[in-house]
Structures are given as C-alpha cells and as structure tokens.
Structure 1
Amino acid sequence: MTVIAPELAESRSAKEATARHYLMCPPEYFAVEYSINPWMDPSAPVDAELAMAQWTELKNTYERLGHAVELVDAQPGLPDMVFAANSGTVIDGRVLGARFRAPERAAEAEHFRRWFTDHGYRDLVMPERINEAEGDFAWTGGFLLAGHGFRTDPAAHSEAQEQLGVPVVSLSLRDPNYYHLDTALFVLEKGPEAKVAYYPEAFSAGSRRVLERLFPDAVIADAADAACLGLNGVSDGRNVVLPAEATGLAKSLTDRGYAVHHVDIAELRKSGGGPKCCTLEIHS
C-alpha cells in the first residue's frame, strides 16, 4: 500500500476557480508625494506611465482569468486612490465603507461611497472608527480576519462584525513594513475549509498561535517573499496573482496545485502597494 503525504495529496487535488467581481481605480494621478508607510520615499523618482502600464496588465490578467472588473474614476490630488482595496468591505451586499488614518487619503472614502451608492448598494454604512477596509480585512467565506496595529483601529473590528453580520477574528500586526493585513496574509480559498498564505513574522506571538490553530495547513512565506509584497496576492481558488519577484512563494503554491500568474508591480510598490492593494473584491 502506498501512503501519500498530506501535502502531496493536496497538491494533486484539483483546485477550483470561481469567477470574482473586482473594483479597481486606474493610477491616473499616481505619485509618491508624502510618506505614510516605510515603503514611500517622496525623493525617489516615479514613472507614472509605467505605473499605469503595470496596473493595466494586472486588470487585463483578471479579465483573462474570467473575472469581472469595474472601475471607479481616479480623482486629482489623491495619488493613492489606485489602492482600491482600502475603500470598503463588501459581503453579501452589505457595504462597510472606509475611514482612513492618514489625512492625505481621507477624501478617498467619499468618492468610493458615491460609487457604491450610484451602483445600487443601499445597505451601506460609513464607519465611525478608523477602518482601512480590505487593507486590514480578509474574508474567508466564514469569518473575517481583521488586522490592527498600524492603521485600522481595533474597535473597528467589532463595528465590522455589527455592520456586516459576520464573525471577526482579530490579528495583531507588529512590523511596520507590513502595516496592513493584506501585506502579510491573503486568502487562497474561501469556504468552510478556507486556506491562506501568510508571513508569520509580521504578527504578534499570540496572533501567530491563532493562525496556526485556524489554518494548520497554511502556506508559509519567508522573509524574501514578504519583502517584495508577495503576500499581497489575489486568488480565485485556483489562479493566484503574485508580484513577479515572489518566486519562492510561487513554487510553494504550484506544489500545492495552484496556477500562479506573475505581474510586475514594482512601480506601484514604491507606495507600498501590490496586486491586492489595487483590488477590492465584492464578495457576493
């Protein structure tokens, strides 16, 4: 009798992609004009045309994979509006908007609120607490993983549970380089047996124990993959979109049966963003 190791058995199992609904904002006014995270250096040159080309390829990748992509208009004076993931959390038609910690980004919240309202989302609440949306919230299909430590207020976690009507698991971030949950963890598969990838060193000791308990078979990223924002990935259950430099993580995912699609987001990374930062998922 041949015994197959659990991890090998998983890699041989078929992964199922599901069509997703994304909201994005083109980097029409992208620039690094201020510094609100360790990645941002206003003295470093930024190529706006290259940023647009990289963003366009990310959008095209989603569409080639069969996903619906809607766009919100970029606004002058808001160079980080391209990072749409920070603009709201949508689960089962309910929308919890955003409230930014940095005053430089505060005006973004109203533009995205108007988009949701104009597109028929009536069950919409704007938060009282600082809440940077999918930057710090990751929906597993059964519960919401919620980060805090640098941006989102811990009190916003209970507000999200109340407004969205889903259970919330709080996680503490400890490294300022991974200032949002979506820079240190992403959901590979949603559902009762949700699967994630994450970088343990971004989390407090207690939060690491929580993640180990919830996701004993998680894909664990190393420091090199985390350092290129490799954990800022996007998955549809089978296809995983990753920054081009995240080669070690890509191999781990391929070994488990996922199809990896690399994109170059180096110019957008100058503002501390990657594929997921550019992508708000509307969870239906």
Structure 2
Amino acid sequence: MGSTTISAVRTASRRRFLMCRPTYFAVEYAINPWMDPTRPVDPMLAIEQWEALRGVLLGLGHVVNLIDPVPVLPDMVFAANGATVLDGRALVSAFRHPQRAPESGAYEKWFRDRGYEVRCAERWNEGEGDHLAVAGVVLAGHGFRTAASSHAETADYLGRPVIGLTLVDPRFYHLDTALAVLDDEQIMYWPGAFSPASRRRLHSLFPHALRVEEHDAVQFGLNLISDGHHVLLPAPARSLAARLATEGYQPLALDVSELAKAGGGPKCCVLQLDRPPA
C-alpha cells in the first residue's frame, strides 16, 4: 500500500459482473437525499447510459452477466446492493427499506440457479454497496443502510475479517459512494463521510490511500469501477479523473446523469462476481 507516482505501472484484471437493465427505472419514492420523485426522469436515457456502461465493460474484456429486471422494482438496476459475493459464496442482502426488500428474492434465485452457495442475511445488509473487499479484508459501511450488528454474520459466512466503518453524512449512505477500491491494495475515499474513529481506522490500515475532495465526492466520483488499470467514473468528476491519471490509472468518463437522480453511479450498477478464468 505504498505511495504511487505517474510512472507506476497498472495492470488490469479481468472481472465478472452482474448487471440489471433499467427497464423499469424510475424515481417513485425517496430513500436517500438524492431522490426527488417530483424531478423528471428520462427512462430511455437511463437505459442508453446503462448500455454505454455495459458496452465499455465488455469492450475492456470483462464478463457481464444479467439478471432480469422486475417491473415493480425500479431500483433493481443498482445490482451492487443485491449481495456480497466472495469465493463462490453469495450473502444475499436484507434491505432496510420495504420498497427494495423484494429484490432479495430475485437475487437469491439467480445465485441458487447458478450453483452458488447462498445465505440470506438476517440483519440489514445492503450487499456490495456497503461491503468492499481489499487487501484480504472486507471494509463494511454501517450507519444508514447496513446494520453494524450484521458484520459478524458477514465475517463468518464470507470467511474474511470485516472492518466496520461508520458513515455519518446521509449523502453518502452506502460505503461505495464514499470509498473506492482501485486495486488489490489501494483505496480512495472522502474522509468527511466517516466518523473520526473510522477515519483513524482507515489511516492506520491504508496510510497511503488517496483522499479526495468533497466536490468530487458529491459528483459520485467515488462510485467508480476499477479493474486495477481502467477506472470508470462519472464525467463530472473531472479533477478526480485527472488525479487518477497522475497515479497511473486510465480514467474513463461516463455520463450516468439519469441514474444519479436515484443516488447511483457506475459502481452501483455492477455486482462483482467471482473472477472468470484467465
């Protein structure tokens, strides 16, 4: 987890992702500060933006699996929240808000049908939205959508140490809006999203982590997808893209403005599965 320079050589790792087409995307309720049901949404533009994201991932050589959207679940496009997957095990989410709770059944069926070992979380646990694997541990956000009391179950089932991090700014209601994993060792985060104790914990574990400014964080700049070299992030996070380039990453800007109306960015749209064979 050492410091980086522009001369750093970054290596992409082929990934497998699960995505859900936003066929029924809408903002019909408000369960985070970004959602405003009175604000117009263009469903066709949302689909175009999602297809562009999927196209970039495929173009980079990644594998994209699809789960069928369900008509009454407009937020199902945010597949990252459906489960946390490690080593062939899927811990299916237990959503805090009733509007999203039925998604769990769809994700459970998808994983069981494909031979994954599956457990359904017993306490609030919103999947990879609040659980990011890096450096042999799972960083786990809590405070808004995932319960701290769920961490023991996560550690037990996934077989990794879980490091709890308290989120304190409701704009950053999931960990993946406040912290990003760039490669197997490096993370990037906005300190203001975390409690003082959690900031100290992050600094202790990742002393050379990249810290971003609030103006990039509120553009969902941290809700990014990285394969260790290419970094897909929202187009408005321009200064963050420039920063990543100086660190040896290749930023790829995407327009996800319609999906952002529901509080999501590129990372929210993908759930990382087991990596495919080389």
TM-score by length of 1: 0.95
Matched to 1:213, the amino acid is S
Deviates more, 1:175-184 or 1:132-141: 132-141
Deviation at 1:10, TM superposition (A): 3.1
Equivalent residue number for residue 108 of structure 2 = 113
Equivalent residue number for residue 175 of structure 1 = 169
215, 218, 226: which is aligned to 1:227?
Answer: 218
Distance 1:243 1:174 in 2: 23
Matched to 2:87, the amino acid is D
1:99-248 alignment runs, 5 A limit: 99-121=94-116, 123-190=117-184, 194-248=185-239
Equivalent residue number for residue 270 of structure 1 = 261
Unaligned runs of 5+ in 1: 1-5
Equivalent residue number for residue 37 of structure 2 = 42
Distance 1:92 1:270 in 2: 33
- 1:219, 1:252 within 8 Å by CA — same for their partners in 2? no
Matched to 2:137, the amino acid is F
- Give structure 1 regions of 4+ aligned residues with deviation exceeding 2 angstroms: none
Distance 1:242 1:197 in 2: 13
Residue identity over aligned pairs, in percent, reads 50
Q: How many residues align?
A: 274
Matched to 1:101, the amino acid is R
Equivalent residue number for residue 73 of structure 1 = 68
Distance 1:170 1:153 in 2: 10
- 1:219, 1:253 within 8 Å by CA — same for their partners in 2? no
Deviation at 1:11, TM superposition (A): 2.4
Equivalent residue number for residue 49 of structure 2 = 54
Unaligned runs of 5+ in 2: none
Are 1:91 and 2:86 an aligned pair? yes
TM-score by length of 2: 0.97
SS in 2 for 1:277: helix
